Homo-oligomer: A and B are copies of this chain.
Amino acid sequence: MNKSRLEAFSDGVLAIIITIMVLEFRAPHESNLAALWPLWPKLLSYALSFLFVGIYWNNHHHLWQAVERVDGRVLWANLHLLFWLSLVPFTTAWMGENHFVAAPVALYGVVLLGAGCAYYLMTRVLLASHAPDSLLARALGSDIKGRVSILIYAVAIALAFTLPWLSGALYALVAVIWLVPDRRFERVLAANAR
């Protein structure tokens, strides 16, 4: 089975998710700069989600370069990941409209947690069909970043009802952790090319 259609379909879904979030910015009816001010929580919420979807796209891109075979279970593990990510525009809108108060911030974390677990699950399903010394297995390694992210999401959700802004900061922290490019794949792939 070839992986290029799975990549193309995932790219399509991620491109749409990242772009339709912007439909939440309704143009204000007034035409002065002051009318833009109330939009800042929406913009902040959008930028954070853009970052997260961008990170998922980047990681997906890196991961799938090392994938050698695809079966039916992998297709569904990937669709499961896309399902969680497809809920991001909804939680982004709710959080942005409500100025980062408790419930929306917690729900935002729940969807990130769901996506994080779905990604982890997808790597497990992939590993099951790859040899322990395959490129994929070596590049993934122990996947510390993935595990730590899930832990931070869980803490942030618990904190959301008392300290929502701290939860927001923890989400941003996860984004920063991943923004540092994931050199594992580049290193292993480069070593392999030599």
Residues of A whose CB lies within 8 Å of any CB of B are 1-2, 5-9, 11-20, 22-23, 25-29, 31-33, 35-36, 47, 50, 54, 57-58, 61-62, 65, 71-73, 75-76, 79, 82-83, 86-87, 89-90, 93-94, 97-98, 101-104, 106-107, 179, 181-183, 186, 189
Contact = CB atoms under 8 A, between A and B. Distances in A.
Contacts of A20: 16, 19-20, 22-23
Among A15, A20, A26, chain B packs the most CB atoms within 10 A around the CB of A15
A28 to B, nearest CB: 7
Given A31-B103, A98-B31, A16 B19 contact: yes
Instruction: Tell me whether chain A's interface is mostly helix, strand or loop, or mixed.
Output: helix
Given A47-B83, A73-B181, A36 B107 contact: yes
A103 to B, nearest CB: 5
A1 B103 contact: no
Nearest to A86: B22
A172 to B, nearest CB: 16
B1 A11 contact: no
A71 B17 CA distance: 24
A29 B76 contact: no
A66 to B, nearest CB: 11
A54 B79 contact: yes
Nearest to A161: B33
A14 B9 contact: yes
A8 B47 CA distance: 22
B18 A86 contact: yes
Nearest to A96: B27
Contacts of A181: 71-73, 75-76
Given A65-B1, A72-B186, A83-B47, A13 B18 contact: yes
